[in-house]
Amino acid sequence: MTASPDLGSGAQPALPPLFPFAAIAGQPLLCQALLLAAIDPQLGGVLIEGPRGTAKSTAARALAELIDAAPFVTLPLGASLEHLAGSLDLGQAMAGHALKFAPGLLARAHGGVLYVDEINLLPDALVDVLLDAAASGVNVVERDGISHRHAARFVLVGTMNPEEGQLRPQLLDRLGLCVRLANVEDAAQRQAIVRARLLFDADPAAFRARHADAQAALAAQLRTARERLQPAGALPWSDAVLQAAGALCIAAQVDGLRADLVLLRAARAWAAWLGDAEVRPDHVQAVAELVLVHRRKPGAPQPQPQPQRPSPQQAPSNPPSQSPAQIRPPAESTANGAGDSPPSEADWGAMPPAPVGLLRVAVPSLLAREAAKAGAPATKKA
Q: How far is 284 from 267, CA to CA, in rounded Å?
A: 5
**Is 258 one of the catalytic residues?**
yes
Dihedral of the alpha carbons of 42, 227, 66, 50, in degrees to the nearest 10: 30
Per annotation, catalytic residue among 228, 258, 265, 296:
258
Which amino acids are annotated catalytic?
A: 258
